[in-house]
Amino acid sequence: MDKASKIYVAGHTGLLGSALLKLLKLEGYLKIVTRNHAELDLTRQEMVEAFFKTEQPEYVFLCAGLTGGIIANKTYPATFLHANIAIQDNVFEASLKYNVRNLVFYGSSCAYPKNCSQPIKEEYLLTGEIEQTSEAYAIAKIAGIIACRSSNRQYKANRFIALIPNTMYGPNDNFDTNSSHVIPALIRKFHEAKVKKENNVILWGSGNPRREFIYSEDVADASVFAMKNAERLQNTHYNIGTGIDCTIKELAKIIAEIVGFEGKIEWDITKPDGASRKLLDSSGFLNLGWKPSTALIEGLRHTYKYFMNQY
């Protein structure tokens, strides 16, 4: 992938896609192709086919997809399953047909078994029951990971690269309290409580589960690194993480301090926690020479600054 290569960033307005777009432009790539949802609905095969036939991208970053937190996953499982499988299948087929050189696909840590050993190694995929609250989304992501591996095997070329970043956060995240992941949800909840001068905030679950978080710009950097080093990669998926986790209670305390909320934090233990821990073993990818550069507190400050500017 050189500066004159034609690169398609699918989902360029989202959390990861916008970080990738920013990085590619900073690094001087000249031919970046994007389309918003109104211009190109990736769930519609005929639209994807026409786009690839016309644009002929050489490299694809498939950041597009339907994501959400526990509430959204529990409420709309069929929608999550259909949308993500349709997007993946359409883009993979068009990429094969129109000779895309390399494509980066993004899985999710929720694809791993809910009770597997920690930190989670790549080989733990499909070795146990997955977390029920994210079952439909996880199945779609597993299908995408297997599709990458199967296509590479059948067509005898490692063209499709599957990366599994742990929970991402950063600018352009979804801050809707009903459909967002934990970090943007907490940022908004604490900010609104501060503005309304509320004395307490009630959060879901016990706060005891441990999670690993990675800044979106670090995942974008890992993605470009993977594309540049495609010939060194094996026909498997790679975990992308920081190697550091924290409890949700610890996370909430940090965000409350950044936002400036000084009230009490209470926990509603009648609500689900999800998996008890999700820490990835990213040694396989780190050993290739890449490493993350953004500490959690630094990334959270950047994310809150973005939230303040936008909302």
CA distance 102 to 228: 10
Catalytic residue among 8, 112, 137, 169: 137
CA distance 233 to 226: 8
β-pair type (245-247, 210-215): antiparallel
The tally of CA atoms less than 13 A away on the side-chain side of residue 79 is 8
Confirm whether 112 is a catalytic residue: no
Residues involved in catalysis: 137
